[in-house]
Amino acid sequence: MVQVQAAARTGNATTLDVRFVAGESYEFVVRGHRLLVDQPVEAGGGDEAPTPTELFVASLASCVAFYAGRYLSRHRLSRDGLGVSATFRMAADKAARVAEVQLTVRVPPDFPEARRQALLAVVSHCTVHNSLASPPAVSIDLATP
């Protein structure tokens, strides 16, 4: 396996290093956590891990879940049964991208009806959702060893 460098922090910026493993698999490390991405067999991969696109959608869903959980805790409500389901659709045109994501937050059975709108407002402002609503500047450079 290829050695992977951990994420480095400088001020409020974090640098990740992604390395080729084999086939269509890549690995990266974040704060000591090793993560792998791969492609399905039909796309030439070994299907050993989620695709980068699946991780993208999962990061949105898990961010929403985190914000929902914090809301519940802050209001002394149970998190038991809390979950988020995500369904996504790819764009049909030439620019490969996620065209639509549908998130469903499953609230605990005893969640008060009067708090629904407030919870929706909180989860719709999670960090990943905010990053999609106001996209970051992205630049790509090439480097040689």
Quote the pTM value.
0.89
The whole-number pLDDT of residue 12 equals 83
Q: Higher-confidence residue: 69 or 14?
A: 69
The whole-number pLDDT of residue 4 equals 45
Work out the average pLDDT over 135-141.
95
Structure letter (DSSP) for residue 49: S
pLDDT above 80 for 10: no
Question: Domain extents for the chain?
Answer: 1-49, 51-134
Q: Give domain 51-134's CATH superfamily.
A: K homology (KH) domain (3.30.300.20)
Per residue in 20-42, pLDDT (tens digit) is 999 999 999 988 899 999 999 99
Mean model confidence pLDDT for the chain: 93
Distance in angstroms (rounded) separating the CA atoms of residues 2 and 22: 9
Sign of the dihedral defined by the CA atoms of residues 94, 130, 18, 29, in that order: negative
Q: How far is CA 105 from CA 6, 82, 117, in A?
A: 32, 7, 12
